[in-house]
Structure 1
Amino acid sequence: MFSRSSSSQGTAAVSKKRGRRGPLATASLILVGLLTTGGAYALFSSTASADESSTAAASQQSIDEGQKLFASNCATCHGMSADGSADGPSLIGVGAASVDFQVGTGRMPMAVNGPQAQQKPTQFSESQIADMAAYIASLAPGPAIPDEKYLKADGDTTNGAELFRINCAMCHNVAGAGGALTEGKFAPALKGVESKHIYEAMATGPQNMPVFNDLNLSPQDKADIITYLKYLEKNPSPGGFELGSLGPVSEGLFIWIFGLGAIVAITVWLTARSN
């Protein structure tokens, strides 16, 4: 009896000794956990800092390049500091969208001074335009280049048509065919214009166009207008030959010339036949 009890107590003592974790083991586990967590955090922080630094460096490099391009091509009219002169307005606060529209459509730099800048082939690459836009945007806040999600022409066509008729058709024609304004100015046709440039024109108000900020037309409203214009491009006139989509002027002129001309020709033919 005595020996069996002693054996049981010895076995229990050995089991307890084997299951017990020493204080050094616990401290080691804590140290390993801290080192692993700290190392991962340091690696993540250094990677994020490197990315931010490279992005900032690239952005500053773009601004510097844009400043050089501006000084070489634009400062004659707009001033070395883009604060304007007698020959050109200040560009402080116009934003990147204005530069992207004016330079991207070839309107700037202007070939000659006139009532309105004419669209022509652009003189700069996309990267150069982006650099100049970055430089002007760095001078003061202004409209930014629109997000791609508003340029996909997948908005509400019906809402876009209504908004276009209310806000744009009096100058650009209900079909976007353009129209004449006063003092040698005109509203250009919108067929074939890039979605980005249509959006930027609404946001910045180039030439005689008013500015439609986000309080007048929300970004989604602008996207709906773009959708409507692209719908007109893809769908021909259901009435047949559209005569330039200039409305009753061209249609009335067509009827006057060809309709009345046909009546006169028939009259002459009948008269000659009777004689």
Structure 2
Amino acid sequence: MARTSKKANRRHPLATVVLIAIGLAFTGGGYALFTSTATANTDTASSQTTVDEGSKLFASNCATCHGMNLQGTAAGPSLLGVGAASVDFQVGTGRMPLAMQGPQAMQKPAQFTADQTAALAAYVASLSPGPAVPTDDQLTNTGNATNGGELFRINCAMCHNVAGAGGALTEGKFAPELTGVESKYIYEAMLTGPQNMPVFNDHNITPEDKRDIITYLKYLQNNPSPGGFDLGNLGPVAEGLFIWIFGIGAVVAMTIWLTAKSN
């Protein structure tokens, strides 16, 4: 009887291992929960700090034209709904703040640092959400350049030229050259439609197609013209003018020379 009771009270050999495993699970889970909460609180505090910094920058540099509540004024349009992408494009390329009134905002050296630009974008987006700044995976140059070239010729070449060399528009406006432009700004321009450019949202041109267009433009930038002298990539008008002035001119000059020599 005593032997049976002793056997019943004996601890299983794996009981210690199970207890240690349970203890580790509770300890690890509690640590992970605490760490995640602390990180989330830090991120939230950091985001709020960024928005507060953007609010100060906006009030001192942008509110005169765009209004304290982004409602716009007679001197500048409303920014409600433009999102972080539009602010990042306009401020990052130096188009804003405006140097002077004109047919369109001119690109110039940026007046704010990258962190200040991000703060302004975060502030505007916090008041009225809109298109976000594209992520790194949307800006890779590993898309389909063939598809990108077709999309560019259909949607963009009538203003920017088939080679992205830019072109004149009406009333002193122009489509800028796209050579050397950062991928981020090309994407944001398609997404937000700055100034005279139409908006190509993700329903018009998908993020994958935008990446293909960027790939095509970067291919043109990194590969010289296979035909030799490209005449500035200005298209058939420039090529036709070149032929008329130099080609036909050379033929006429040669004809006059041969006639004069025969006489």
TM-score by length of 2: 0.91
* Correspondence list, 1:1-275, <5 A: 13-14=2-3, 16-21=4-9, 37-274=25-262
Unaligned runs of 5+ in 2: none
Q: CA deviation at 1:22?
A: 7.0
Mapped partners of 1:21, 1:115: distance in 2: 92
CA distance in 1, matches of 2:144, 2:255: 52
| Counterparts in 2 of 1:94 and 1:259: CA distance versus 1, 3 Å | same
Q: Distance in 2 between matches of 1:157 and 1:49?
A: 44
Deviating 4+ runs (over 6 angstroms): 28-35
Deviation at 1:161, TM superposition (A): 0.9
Question: What secondary structure is seen at the aligned counterpart in 2 of 1:162?
Answer: helix
Task: Give the residue type in structure 1 aligned to 2:222.
Answer: K
AA aligned opposite 1:193: V
Q: Distance in 2 between matches of 1:274 and 1:56?
A: 90
**What is the rounded CA distance, in whole Å, between the counterparts of 1:60 and 1:258 in structure 2?**
64
Q: CA deviation at 1:31?
A: 8.8
The one-letter amino acid paired with 1:160 is G
Q: Deviations over 1:233-260 (max 9, x none)?
A: 1111121111111111101111111123
- Percent of residue pairs identical: 65
Structure 1: distance between partners of 2:17 and 2:241: 93
Letter in 1 for 2:138: Y
Distance 1:182 1:52 in 2: 51
Measure, in 1, the Cα distance between the counterparts of 2:202 and 2:170.
28
Deviates further, 107-116 or 39-48: 39-48
Unaligned runs of 5+ in 1: 1-9
Q: Quote the RMSD (CA, aligned, Å).
A: 2.3
Cross-structure match for 1:7: none
Aligned pair in 2 of structure 1 residues 33, 239: CA closer, same or farther (>3 Å)?
closer
Instruction: Measure, in 1, the Cα distance between the counterparts of 2:151 and 2:145.
Output: 10
The structure that has the greater radius of gyration is 1
CA–CA distance in structure 2, aligned partners of residues 40 and 263 of structure 1: 87
How many residues are treated as equivalent by the alignment? 260
* d(CA) in 1 for partners of 2:61, 2:9: 77
AA partner of residue 227 (structure 1): T
Q: 1:21, CA displacement in angstroms? A: 2.4
Query: Counterpart of 2:179 in 1: which secondary structure?
Result: coil
Deviations 1:118-152 (A, max 9, x none): 01111111111111110011011200011111111
- 1:168-213 Cα offsets, whole Å, 9 max, x none, are 1111111111111111111111111110000000000001101011
Distance in 2 of aligned mates of 1:126 and 1:21: 70
Matched AA of 1:222: K
Instruction: Measure the CA separation in 1 of the matches of 2:211 and 2:148.
Output: 8
- Counterpart Cα distance in 2 of 1:30 and 1:231: 60
Residue identity matched to 1:92? L
TM-score, normalised by the number of residues in structure 1? 0.87
